[in-house]
Amino acid sequence: MRIVADENMPLVEEFFGEYGEITRLSGREMCADQLRDADILLVRSVTPVNAELLEGSRVRFVGTATIGFDHIDRDYLDQHGIGFASAPGSNAESVVDWVLSSLLLLDEQDGRVFTERVVGVVGAGNVGGRLLSRLRALGVTCLVCDPPRAEAEGEEGFVELDELLERADVVSLHTPLVSEGRHATFHLLNEQRIEALRSDQVLISAGRGDCVDSEALKARLQRDPGLRTVIDVWENEPAIDEALYRLATIATPHVAGYSLEGKMLGSEMLYQAVSRFYGLPARRSLGQMMPENWLKRIALSGRAPPMEALRLCARSCYDVRRDALLMERYRRHYGMAEGFDLMRKEYPLRREYSSLRVELKRSAGAVREMLEHAGFSIRDKRRK
């Protein structure tokens, strides 16, 4: 079999090597001519997979190593009997780490503690749901807006979007991009809703760029820089609006989900899907390939102040500041569009909070609880 895969997908050779011959291509530049004799196509979010790309090819299976699949024309695949898989949940923990790191950075900027803010989560699926679990465990008051879930599960525990926007101190967007239908999310945050936000609120956008009307957001921020924004996903990536970029409080180039764990799991999920589709054995597993975090452990005394300990562990593992500074460096060297993509291609190693072992005595109640709830792996401190 001939397998064509995005050049930015890890472990393709390791997983798929025994299934066939692998060709690596740039995801943004992939075109129909390159797929003529391909059987399996493995993409990430930057490749629109549709009639234009697939017409005339013999592709029988398409996999995207991402959670979102708004770049895939599912109807076309169904109509042509082409198998499909995405990687649900693969990098959800990574996005949650990115949100927590951003909240901690905002705390530093304005001398508050995020656990005292009301956080509104819009879209409570794999990402939003895990964010809610960690925040609630940390004692944060949360509001949830997810109309599809509210319809299926009952209204209790859910609020309308406009109520959430009014009541939350922090609004965190985690919806998929859906262009049509009752629950469409294209410009879910439209001009009217953006205008209604208070100057003391924080808007976090980590779903898809098109869920927010970026022209309206830019106009609002130009008039009122008080409103703070943490933006990972943008309209027109990679050629994003530089003025909006400059107005954002924290800006990253669609890397919230870029932990090593998240990217590798995405590849493994596609390997398993291909194995099921073709009835081939799946002999490899991620466990054999996931390296240990080079920061093996942090040992803390039970006297560590919980919030200080959380900041220290979070910064040691992943600090969103690194990515914001790096994005600015890439932009200055290469320009926005090229820099945006190059940073994603050359993204430095990043591990999830769960990969960091924190050693604490069993009796270290409050600090132990806080770190565990934030997502770190807690181990009992050994006696000397």
Ligand X SMILES: O=C(O)C(=O)[C@H](O)COP(=O)(O)O
Ligand Y SMILES: NC(=O)C1=CN([C@@H]2O[C@H](COP(=O)(O)OP(=O)(O)OC[C@H]3O[C@@H](n4cnc5c(N)ncnc54)[C@H](O)[C@@H]3O)[C@@H](O)[C@H]2O)C=CC1
CB count in 10 Å sphere of residue 211: 24
Q: What is the nearest approach in angstroms of ligand X to the Cβ of residue 98?
A: 10
Query: Could you say whether residue 66 binds ligand X (CB under 6 A)?
Result: yes
| Catalytic-residue membership of 372 | no
Among 9, 221, 233, 356, binds ligand Y (CB under 6 A): 233
Among residues 237, 261, 268, 352, which one is catalytic?
237
**Which residues, 6 or more positions from 171, have their beta carbon under 8 angstroms from its beta carbon?**
120, 122, 164, 165, 197, 201, 202, 203, 204
Terminal Cα-to-Cα distance of the chain (whole angstroms): 56
Annotated binding site for substrate: 45, 66, 258
91 binds ligand X (CB under 6 A): yes
Amino acid at 202: V
254 given a catalytic annotation: yes
Sites for ligand X among residues 30-59 (CB under 6 A) = 44-46
Measured CA to CA, the distance from residue 307 to residue 11 in angstroms comes to: 37
Based on the shown chain and the rule CB under 6 A, indicate whether residue 257 belongs to the binding site for ligand X.
yes
Measured from the CB atom, the residue of 114 and 340 that comes closer to ligand X is: 340
Q: Residue 92 touches which of ligand Y, ligand X, none (CB < 5 to 8 A by kind)?
A: ligand Y
Looking at the Cβ atoms of 91 and 293, the one nearer to ligand X is 91
CA distance 97 to 256: 8
Q: Which stretch binds ligand Y (CB under 6 A): 16-24, 47-55, 171-179, 286-294?
A: 171-179
| CA distance linking residue 185 with residue 187, whole number of Å | 6
From the list ligand Y, ligand X, none, pick the one residue 145 interacts with, judged by a Cβ distance below 5 to 8 Å according to partner type.
ligand Y
Q: Which is closer to ligand Y, CB of 175 or CB of 293? A: 175
Would you say 91 or 201 has its CB closer to ligand X? Answer: 91
The dihedral over CA atoms of 91, 94, 96, 98, expressed in degrees to the nearest 10, equals -140
Can you say how many angstroms the Cα of residue 206 is from the centroid of all Cα atoms in its chain? 6
Q: How far is CA 194 from CA 94, 166, 217, 224, 228, in A?
A: 27, 11, 6, 11, 12
Give the one entry of ligand X, ligand Y, none that residue 46 binds, where binding means its C-beta sits below a cut-off of 5 to 8 angstroms depending on kind. ligand X
Closest CA to 38 of 56, 50, 52: 56
The identity of residue 363, as a single letter, is S
Q: Specify the 3-state DSSP secondary structure of 340.
A: helix
| Interface with ligand Y (CB under 6 A), residue from 86, 91, 102, 259 | 91
User: Which one of ligand Y, ligand X, none interacts with residue 173, CB within 5 to 8 A by kind?
Assistant: none
| Residue 41 CA from chain centroid, whole number | 22
How many Å apart are CA 57 and CA 21, to the nearest integer? 16
Q: How far is the CB of 126 from ligand X (least distance, A)?
A: 10
26, 5 contact by CB (below 8 A): no
- Per this entry, what is the length of the chain? 384
Of 134, 208, 228, 344, the active-site residue reads 208
Q: Binding site for NAD(+), residues? A: 146, 175, 232, 257
d(CA 96, CA 101): 9
Structure token digits, residue 258: 């870029």
What is the Cα–Cα distance from 254 to 343, expressed in whole angstroms?
Answer: 10
Identify the active-site residue in 228, 254, 351, 373.
254
- Given 39, 213, 232, 261, the residue binding ligand Y (CB under 6 A): 232
Residue 29 or 162 with smaller CB distance to ligand Y: 162
To the nearest whole angstrom, how small is the minimum distance from the Cβ of residue 319 to ligand Y? 17
Measure Cα distances from 268 to 19, 283, 356 in Å. 14, 11, 22
- Answer yes or no whether residue 146 interacts with ligand Y by CB under 6 A: yes
185 binds, among ligand Y, ligand X, none (CB under 5 to 8 A by kind): ligand Y
Positions that interact with ligand Y (CB under 6 A): 67-68, 89, 91-92, 95, 122-128, 145-149, 174-178, 183, 185, 188, 206-208, 232-233, 254, 256-257
Active site positions, annotated = 208, 237, 254
Positions that interact with ligand X (CB under 6 A): 8, 44-46, 66-68, 91, 254, 257
